[in-house]
């Protein structure tokens, strides 16, 4: 089995067209979400690909993107309507 690391991906995109493309890219890797923040279990190759793809979509002077690796031993807490993260059996990258 491939090792995956839990990341938190968050973004703020000014242009609606870039927003849609960025959302689709991130959702392709996400297992849970909360508005503009997504939990993503990524391999090293998937992390590199996501960073490469998102860089092609966003405008550095208008948009922002944050990908934070979370400590593997830390517990994830959710409140309210948050969805607990889940590592699905399969990931589709298309």
In a domain, 17, yes or no: yes
What does DSSP say about strands 30-34 and 5-12: parallel, antiparallel, or unpaired? Answer: unpaired
In a domain, 89, yes or no: no
Q: Could you read off the pLDDT of 36-79 as tens digits, one per residue?
A: 777 888 899 999 999 999 999 888 888 888 888 887 776 666 55
In a domain, 81, yes or no: no
pLDDT value for 21: 87
Find the CATH number of the domain harbouring 42: 3.30.70.240
Q: Which domain covers residue 61, as residue numbers?
A: 5-69
pLDDT value for 34: 61
In a domain, 60, yes or no: yes
The two three-digit tokens of residue 35, written as one number: 């508005």
Total domains present in the chain:
1
Does the structure show a pLDDT above 60 at 91? no
Output 90 or 58, whichever has higher pLDDT: 58
In a domain, 87, yes or no: no
How many helical (H) and strand (E) elements, i.e. helices and strands, does the chain have? 2, 4
pLDDT band at 86 (very low <50, low <70, confident <90, very high): low
């Amino acid at each position: 089995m491939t090792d995956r690391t839990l990341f938190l991906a968050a973004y703020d995109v000014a242009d609606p067209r870039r927003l849609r493309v960025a959302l689709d890219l991130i959702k392709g890797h996400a297992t849970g979400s909360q508005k503009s923040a997504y939990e993503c279990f990524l391999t090293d190759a998937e992390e590199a690909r996501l960073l490469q793809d998102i860089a092609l979509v966003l405008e550095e002077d208008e948009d922002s993107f944050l990908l934070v690796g979370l400590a593997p031993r830390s517990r994830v807490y959710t409140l309210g309507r948050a969805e607990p993260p889940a590592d699905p059996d399969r990931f589709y990258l298309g």
